[in-house]
């Protein structure tokens, strides 16, 4: 575990899409073939989101499309690739937030949905701005998904069997800035490998692992969830930016506060003026970003070679 926080920062012209496939120590175990698959997944997620953004579509639809692609790939710890709990079951967490309206939706400890991020979107759409539930858990979340007509996870994959170690640290997420200047964020995860059933981390909790607000920032985090949750990571970052802080230093401070809570990880961050930052204090973080004329895919650290 490195003690440093590594950050890549810059400014891009809207629309912008950033995706991640988790932060962790997994690069030590990965083969070149596995890293290739991660890179392909990130590239596919950029394409899925860009089909929306490039046509002038909304940031919300772009982040959901990008995250749903990563969930469906099976190569990350989210959706089809979600790792198993200590009992061999699969329980997924996800959240989505729309920066324009402040609407947010999340699910946690949910086994039903094939695409947890689409389930989170359905929770968000239950209410208007400032009304309706923002988080559904467990059996209630599953029954809501079924009643909403969301696709069910393939039961053959319910046990998490056949999921390669490649997926262990692969929480996925996306942030986007659309041509209209609106932000959105989404995060999806299977949680910690071998977790106690029912365990919930930061990903589905608004202000912890996921946040979007047109007045400040869109962010999706990955790492040791309990620490991001106790630290209030995304809220801390958003409030610092709303108060005028510099993007990179605010992100470094927020990640330091996560470390003060005992955890490590990383995040992707995008401001309404196109400033972006990716930062992590783990060995590796799979991440990629795209704007007009620019497409960068980094499945590992420090670069794309082993």
Nearer to a second copy by C-beta: 131 or 305? 131
* # chain residues binding a second copy, by CB under 8 A: 46
88 binds a second copy (CB under 8 A): no
- Residue nearer to a second copy on the CB measure, 56 or 198: 198
Residues 6+ apart with CB under 8 A from 184: 58, 59, 60, 62, 63, 96, 97, 98, 99, 175, 176, 178, 212, 218
Which 206-235 residues touch a second copy, going by CB under 8 A? 206-208, 226-227, 229-230, 232, 235
Strands 16-24 and 172-177: antiparallel
Neighbours of 203 (CB within 10 A): 32
Using only C-alpha atoms, the chain has a radius of gyration, in whole angstroms, of 17
Given 92, 100, 171, 187, the catalytic residue: 171
Q: Under DSSP, is residue 176 helix (H, G, I), strand (E, B) or coil? A: strand
Smallest distance from a second copy to CB 126, Å: 8
Judged by CB under 8 A, the residue of 133, 181, 194, 274 near a second copy is: 133
**Identified binder of a second copy from the candidate list 54, 132, 181, 274, rule CB under 8 A:** 132
Q: Enter the tokens of residue 258.
A: 């996560």
Tokens 């923002």 identify what position?
134
Q: Least distance (Å) from a second copy to the CB of residue 260?
A: 9
From candidates 56, 88, 129, 165, binder to a second copy by CB under 8 A = 129
Query: At a CB cut-off of 8 Å and minimum separation 6, what does 52 contact?
Result: 58, 61, 62, 65
Contacts with a second copy by CB under 8 A lie at 85, 91, 102, 104, 108-109, 126-127, 129-144, 195-201, 205-208, 226-227, 229-230, 232, 235-236, 239, 261-263
Catalytic residue numbers, as ranges: 171
């Amino acid at each position: 575990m490195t003690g440093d926080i590594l950050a890549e920062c810059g400014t891009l012209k809207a629309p912008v899409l950033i995706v991640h496939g988790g932060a962790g120590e997994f690069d030590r175990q990965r083969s070149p073939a596995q890293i290739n698959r991660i890179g392909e997944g990130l590239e596919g997620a950029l394409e899925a989101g860009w089909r929306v953004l490039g046509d002038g579509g909304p940031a919300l639809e772009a982040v959901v499309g990008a995250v749903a692609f990563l969930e469906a790939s099976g190569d990350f710890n989210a959706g089809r690739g979600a790792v198993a709990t200590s009992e061999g079951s699969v329980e997924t967490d996800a959240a989505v937030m729309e920066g324009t309206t402040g609407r947010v939706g999340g699910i946690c400890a949910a086994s039903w949905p094939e695409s947890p991020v689409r389930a989170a979107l359905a929770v968000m759409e239950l209410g208007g701005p400032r009304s309706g539930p923002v988080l559904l858990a467990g059996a209630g979340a599953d029954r809501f998904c079924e009643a909403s007509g969301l696709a069910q996870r393939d039961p053959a994959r319910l046990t998490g069997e056949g999921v390669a170690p490649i997926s262990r640290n692969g929480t996925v997420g996306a942030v986007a800035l659309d041509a209209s200047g609106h932000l959105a964020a989404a995060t999806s995860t299977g949680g910690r490998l071998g977790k106690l059933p029912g365990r919930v981390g930061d990903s589905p909790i608004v202000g912890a692992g996921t946040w979007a607000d047109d007045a400040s920032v869109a962010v999706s985090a990955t790492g040791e969830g309990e620490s991001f949750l106790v630290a209030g990571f995304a809220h801390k970052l958003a409030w610092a930016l709303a108060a005028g802080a510099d993007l990179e230093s605010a992100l470094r401070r927020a990640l330091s506060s996560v470390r003060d809570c005992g955890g490590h990880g990383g995040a992707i961050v995008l401001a309404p003026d196109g400033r972006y930052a990716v930062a992590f204090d783990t060995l590796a973080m799979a991440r990629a970003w795209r704007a007009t004329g620019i497409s960068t895919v980094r499945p590992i650290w420090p670069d794309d070679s082993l």
